Structure 1
């Protein structure tokens, strides 16, 4: 090929658009606001998770004693939130692209807060289900990749101090306060540069603004990882309606605060394991780390039942099981988004990130919807220990399957172009071009034959 022949690169429209778009420079005041916004976003994530899952340590016992609900019915109540969130998640992927982050975030916060307060004062099953669904719609907009159990300790303490309604009232007030502070410190996020569309078919494909669900799920590693997030999320959903009663059976009469500490214990091992995730994934690769997370979660259920006895002391036995659950959650959850993103062809652009995020949360919501139903139903039919054994087998099988089928995307060593541009508005198109010169190892939405013809022209 001589020097006069030009090879088409599907990334070129993105690079040209980036070069022609004037970068947004932030003033010192805007930079300070953005730092506060990031802190408040993390706080909002924490408060949102607390609002959604504070009921896990004490609601099953309350529902049985005060309302006469069965394990299966309690499982349905727990499942209503993630079920609504799962249905809403694909829609959220489009809303993020069409309405922007702030509008979706604010709407989600309002739904979560109203649903939580309504749930706390409901007296009938219909009210619990309706307000739980409202929480699910809000969760689809605000739900993050952090584990749901990290905030359960606080709610149990509030319950012990002021009764069933106290935690719902206090945390709803805090949630509204966080949302008001976020509105005051919000700095608009610049949209991804629009790619100019010409007569060429390949450029039309590259310039498409909205990325659909099917385009993303066609990539094998994303489909497998969405299912992985569903499995990991279903684990804690499985435990929610039945674990408090299991603790009472094996540990004796424990206080609500102690129950909350037990529910929160996996967050300790998860925090430690998460701090080591960069080194773990660098040593093992992300897809192996995810597979190990599934296998460790299976071992957690074997120990929780317990099918495998590691100690004659029931407290040690349960803490080991919960500790393994935290490690498995970290390994099987935290690398999900980076793993999916690094395998996305750059030409899919900014919208692919939004859709992957929505599908990731949708998969997690699907798992959280199925987990409580399976946990409550299986425990009611075959007992807690056989139910844990059955779930452990599912985790071990899918962990092995994921290890075999999931591709290694780490060799690409690149992010989508807009990520670097947003992190450093002054970045040049030439630097982006050098960084993303590695071709994608996975099939892109463009058919291989078509891409070959385009490059040869």
Structure 2
């Protein structure tokens, strides 16, 4: 279905944002409803399959002979290959086709989730570890294809409400993160290792069938624009650093938070998943609000990015807490900090896509699926970089220094990115204020000279 001329979609060569806003129908079209259902189902299913590892897999891998550093690498390799996949799929989205990329990625993700359910049958040691890496790599490629296509399709279908739609759909991302860990922990405790993965893999494959039937196709002309031109824009580079910082914080928690909770508070595996609930639930609830704020008041996006990073940095200092604070570690404090961290993560994450997209348009990138693919691929790739570094650094620091110091060091990432982003926006605002002042001064000087000449 060619939507390049549809005013509700806002294809390239169309009217400006104000004209498109007037033309956009108040009611959702059938295709828009189907797109929302498809994206919501993908977010929910994929995040459940992704987050199910947290409560019990690190302990299983430990029993299979994997060190904490190796467990961190198993979690981190997923993000590394999702990064590579996002760059490739973002560049060639138009050539491959958004719908095919979306469905193929989901099919791969569901299939390898089922395969992960039989990994416990493998021999301990190198064979088990090598197969974990292989399955996670294939899963990452599939997930990278699905998320890149999904973000592009959503932005194409809702050009005037990008942050609101993405923020609202983060409810399903958060719901998957909320349901995944406790469901996985309970299924693991009740039925063993295989059942959580096989059941969730089957759910993802059912979602694939749903999307084959209902997801509309989008077509667009290829573009000569490059990732390099987009990534080297100063504002985009800083936002990329923000994405890396925040995603590294999420990735940091995946392999080691459950190990810390098990050793510190002696909770059973079924209850460890409930600890993750604080982070996921607060992120789920806050994301639609920050999406609405980003669309209705775009000038607030920069401060959401800045303060979201600074609050995240403070949360990681208190997560252990850091030994220099001399605060006793308690379960209620840990859950409270995770709740606040979920809100601050929503502040950081939701404004990034519309900020990068608006920056691309301001610097001459044409409207259309090609630019959306580049922006979607770039943001997904930068998220993956952090999600790769977070588990790797987290596993290493946890092994060498313990959870308290590891979390405090991890908090330096969002602290630096928040301060850098704030400095950039302050300089940008000062330049904008100075331009009209210099123009007025020039006009006054010219008027004075004219009077003197007269």
| TM-score between the two structures when normalised by the length of structure 1 | 0.75
RMSD (Å) for aligned C-alpha atoms: 2.9
2:313 is equivalent to residue 315 of structure 1: no
2:394 is equivalent to residue 372 of structure 1: no
Distance 2:428 2:93 in 1: 26
After alignment, is 97-106 or 300-309 more displaced? 300-309
**Which among 235, 243, 248 is matched to residue 229 of structure 1?**
243
SS at match of 2:255: coil
Preserved CA contact (<8 Å) 1:52 1:135: no
The residue correspondences of 1:56-455 to structure 2 (distance < 5 A) are 56-65=54-63, 67-122=64-119, 123=122, 124-143=128-147, 146=170, 149-150=177-178, 151-189=180-218, 191-192=219-220, 209-252=223-266, 254-278=267-291, 281=294, 282=297, 285-307=300-322, 314-345=330-361, 347-349=364-366, 350=368, 351-406=370-425
Q: How many angstroms does 1:280 deviate by?
A: 5.1
Structure 1: gaps (5+ residues) = 1-12, 18-25, 195-207, 411-457
Distance 1:214 1:245 in 2: 40
Preserved CA contact (<8 Å) 2:262 2:272: no
Distance 1:188 1:408 in 2: 43
After alignment, is 261-270 or 341-350 more displaced? 341-350
SS at match of 2:92: helix
Would you identify which runs of 4 or more consecutive aligned residues in structure 1 move more than 6 Å?
Answer: 308-311, 407-410
SS at match of 1:209: coil
More helix by share: 2
Distance 2:284 2:314 in 1: 19
Distance 2:283 2:315 in 1: 13
Give the corresponding residue for 2:41.
43
Give the corresponding residue for 1:421.
none
| TM-score between the two structures when normalised by the length of structure 2 | 0.76
Structure 2: gaps (5+ residues) = 1-11, 17-24, 123-127, 152-165, 430-454
The number of residues matched between the two structures is: 373
Preserved CA contact (<8 Å) 2:78 2:136: yes
Q: How many angstroms does 1:88 deviate by?
A: 1.4
Distance 2:100 2:38 in 1: 16
Q: How many angstroms does 1:242 deviate by?
A: 1.0
Distance 1:135 1:397 in 2: 32
Q: How many angstroms does 1:164 deviate by?
A: 1.1
Give the corresponding residue for 2:441.
none
Give the corresponding residue for 2:7.
none
Give the corresponding residue for 2:20.
none
Q: How many angstroms does 1:46 deviate by?
A: 1.1
Distance 1:95 1:232 in 2: 27
- C-alpha distance after superposition, 1:382-433 (max 9, x if no partner): 22111111112232122111111248999xxxxxxxxxxxxxxxxxxxxxxx
- C-alpha distance after superposition, 1:234-272 (max 9, x if no partner): 1121111111111123322x1223111111221222133
